[in-house]
Amino acid sequence: MHGSSRLILAHFWAAFAVFAVAIPLGVWQMWVRSPLHEWLPNPELYYRAVTAHGTTFAYVFPTLIAMGFGYVACVVSLGRPLHGVRLAWLAYWLVIAGAALALATVAAGDATVLYTFYPPLSGSPNYYLGILIAVVGSWIWVGLMISHFLRWKRDYPGLPVPLAMFATTAGALLWSWTSLGVGAEIIFMILPNAYGWTDTVDPGLARVLFSWTLHAIVYFWLIPAYIAFYTLLPQAAGGRLYSDKMGRVSFLLLLIFSMPIGVHHLYADPQIGAGFKFLHAVFTGMVAVPTLLTIFTICASLEIAGRLRGGRGLLGWVAALPWDRPMVLASAMSLVMLGLGGASGLINMSYALNSTIHNTQWVTGHFHLIYAGAVVIMYFAIAYEFWPHLTGRPLVSLKLVRLQLWTWCIGMLATTLPWHYVGLLGEPRRMAYFDFTNPLMAPQAFWDSMSAISGLILLFSAALLLYILIASHRTPAGVMDTPRLSLAVEPPRSLPRSLNSFGIWILLVAALTIANYGFPIAQFLFVKNSSVPAYSVEAP
Amino acid sequence: MKPKGNKRGSGDGRFAVWIGATAGLFLSTVVVGFIWLPSAQPGAAALDWWELICSAAGWPAERESFYPNIAGTPPSTVSWTPATRNRLTTGDATRGAQLAGTCKNCHGSNGISADAIFPNLAGQDVAALYKQLEDFKAGKRNADVMGVYVSGLTAQDMLDLATYFASLPHPVVDKLPAKNPDDALARQLVQKGSPARGMAPCSVCHGPVAYTVGTPGLQGQQRAYLEQQLQAFAAGTRRNDINQQMRSVARQLTDAEISQLSVYYSTMSQ
């Protein structure tokens, strides 16, 4: 790995360390609010666990994976060492320090505000400061990725930037732009209020700024999974990528359309006009395009692999795929969960249909299926793919790896599909307990119990993942191949500027953001009496 | 050597196509979302084009109509504006202690009453104490007893008194009573509320789960006082609850529930 293995491993290990802490918290939440457990005497503990779980999985775990995998994409696709390694370590330690500060504050009970902050709830400033430090750390990584992209282009003018690097840069640009929303909310609204410099906070404006971040952040989490689909899966399946250009188009569309759509999280918010809700709904529909392009390209690539391996007939190539390989197995599971979660997402993004499931457990089911299911299982696959290259040691057992992937997939489906159903029945999300003796709630008891029990499967799977990673790190050193990325059927020799650069696309992203967010934000300069006093949740 | 197609400024038609398509999508969505859909809403016929666009943008045409004039007298003269809340942090407990001599005759020398009909004041929230004093003085709460004591107090006096009693040690700690088969009704109401009657759990405003601004914590409060006040809210003889929050709950409670609730909160102690 061109001398970068330590840096990359540090990212992966830190990510899986926080994963190990936050997964049991999620399982515990499902358990204590299910009919299988008595009511918590103090619901504060539940919300503290929700805040820690959400903070870890929104700001820390995927950021570390995206950063680590970004460095992998850099060194493997560009075939040369990283530059700015000291800055990379600085970014790493900022993320670690910020995460530690934020999570310690939550653990102390001083910031039970959930990871979405929800002003006028107000916690200890240390919590927000911690998140800000972590985000600033990730901005250094963004700078490094852009710098690697530009330097390579300078050194090899006219040649296509390798797809993995192109996509990683798209992800970095997306994150830099979308994290400005939450950054502005923390710096200009929440921190001054938490420090007592301002008496009031405007929840409407805060929610609009958070929505700026809230949807595209999911695509920032998703992009490593998509990069794996395009650049790791075809080779792991024994074939080639169907189209390199389709990959570039998909990543560009993700960059352009995932940002100016966040108002679809605010359909029930009175401070946004219906016209803007409609506008964002239409553009939300557009992000389905790169996902559909990706599913098409990946299935075509897998068909190439299956036929190369002797598959015949309409679907014979499916059976011929090497299902014993973790990357192939995980990708198929990921696509199944992406399909189901994407379908429930279509309900969420529809202005009218959304009202039936708004703020219900359906929404929790949707984003866990997409993120904790489709995306995180690809993080596992990425870790399994590169662990031997990073540690110089083979994986301890492929059988255990497959068991881990199966239990994660089954556990996640069995956890989240019941959530969808109880959401349809009207079960609200973010509740510390439910009164299942109420006839209206009684039909949900069985399904909530099913989710809680499925959580134990996920706990087992998480423990197995950690065992495999630790045990593989301790096996005797072996001789590992050089890591390689998938070749396209027709590798591009030269590309038009539109598929090999970002300059004009960034302008388009900025223009769309101003068009879609300009008025919803600027209106707060003129609306009066929309600020309220904060409600402190700090422990007395 | 740079391939010809990649030179800066060389015509890559995709930019124009993509940007044009995106702009086209944006403009057509704006036409549909800001003109056509709002014009199809009931009552849209009375609006001109500009008003349609403003309504879709969420901009009310007449800002004044946003704040309707409400007839009648408010249930309290206290409102929890930032200014009020900031002022509540400026009380002087020492001065309050000097003024509190008379109060102690009924509310106890340490703010814990010896007679169950008088509420404990020790360790109560400043905002809750202040609001009741203001309401007594303004005649918003029945002041047969308290009227004579509050009539001479200034706003600063009331703030200092509230700060003093808030500073005294609370008689109880946050702790749920041991399970008792006789308090099932109260336990249900305090912890879960009564969704079928539209009643939120008592504990989410009055503690121990959470406290909303200006709401008294009830743990360890005097039993007879709690029962009397719930009956007063139910009968409508006490009316200083903003938006009838307490009256709408209390009038749905049965006598047995009121009695159990009073016992439950009064025994929520060490």
pTM comes to: 0.89
The pLDDT value recorded for residue A282 is 95
> Could you tell me which of A344, A396, A397, A336 has the C-alpha nearest to residue A367?
A344
Interface test mutation site (partner B, options A47, A497, A523, A531, max chain B beta carbons within 10 A)? A497
CA A478 to chain centre: 33
- In B90-236, beta strands by DSSP E: none
Q: What was the pLDDT predicted at B188?
A: 86
Note whether B53 and B31 are within 8 A (CB).
no
- Check if A540 contacts B (Cβ < 8 Å): no
pLDDT in tens, A314-338: 999 999 999 999 999 999 999 999 9
Residue type present at position A146? I
Average pLDDT for A37-41: 83
Question: Residue B67 has what pLDDT?
Answer: 56
pLDDT mean over A152-167: 95
pLDDT at residue B1, rounded to an integer: 36
- How do residues B162-218 score in pLDDT, each as one tens digit? 999 999 988 765 555 566 777 888 988 998 888 788 899 998 899 888 888 899 999
**pLDDT for res B8:** 46
Show the 3-state SS of A52-73.
HHHHHHHHHHHHHHHHHHHHHH
What are A107-137's pLDDT values in tens digits? 999 999 999 999 999 999 999 999 999 999 9
Q: Which two tokens stand for residue B16?
A: 């124009």
Asked if B196 has any chain A CB less than 8 Å from its own CB, the reply is yes
Q: Are A267 and A351 in contact (CB under 8 A)?
A: yes
pLDDT at A30 over 60: yes
Percent of chain B with pLDDT over 70: 88
Cα distances from A272 to residues A28, A269, A375, A527, in angstroms, run 36, 6, 31, 12
In the set A37, A151, A358, A430, the catalytic residue is A430
Please choose, from the candidates A247, A249, A244, the residue with its C-alpha nearest in 3D space to the C-alpha of residue A492: A244
Burial class (CB in 10 A: 0-12, 13-18, 19+), A93: middle
Structure confidence by residue, pLDDT tens digits, B127-169: 999 999 999 999 999 988 899 999 999 999 999 999 999 999 8
Average pLDDT of chain A, as a whole number:
94
Residue A400 has pLDDT above 50, yes or no: yes
Active-site annotation holds for A2: no
A504 and B59: CB-CB below 8 Å? no
Mean pLDDT of A479-496: 88
pLDDT at B11: 59
CB A536 within 8 A of CB A122: yes
Residue B72: the pLDDT is 77
Probe site for chain A from B7, B8, B10, B22 (most A CB atoms < 10 A) = B22
- The contacts of residue A399 (CB under 8 Å, 6+ apart) are none
Instruction: Collect all residues of chain B within an 8 Å Cβ-Cβ radius of residue A518.
Output: none
> Count of residues for chain B?
270
The band of B5, judged by pLDDT with boundaries at 50, 70 and 90, is very low
pLDDT tens for residues A243-279? 999 999 999 999 999 989 999 999 999 889 999 999 9
Compare CB distances from A275 to B18, B57, B81 and report the shortest one's residue.
Answer: B57
Is residue B9 scored above 80 in pLDDT?
no
Does A148 qualify as catalytic in the annotation? no
Q: What is the mean pLDDT of residues A149-170?
A: 95
| Lowest-confidence segment of A168-182, A285-299, A355-369, B78-92 by average pLDDT | B78-92
pLDDT at B69 over 80: no
Non-local (6+) Cβ contacts of B22 within 8 A are A256, A508, A512
Identify residue A529 by its one-letter amino acid code. Answer: N
Chain A residues touching residue B8 (CB < 8 angstroms):
497
Q: How far apart are CA A516 and CA A215, in angstroms?
A: 14
Task: Tell me how far apart the terminal alpha carbons of chain A are, to the nearest angstrom.
Answer: 50
Shortest CA distance from B174: residue in chain A: A42
State how far the Cα of A28 lies from the Cα of A23, in Å rounded to an integer.
9
Question: A118, A276, A367, A467: which is the annotated catalytic residue?
Answer: A367
Q: What are residue A121's phi and psi, to 5 degrees?
A: -60, 140
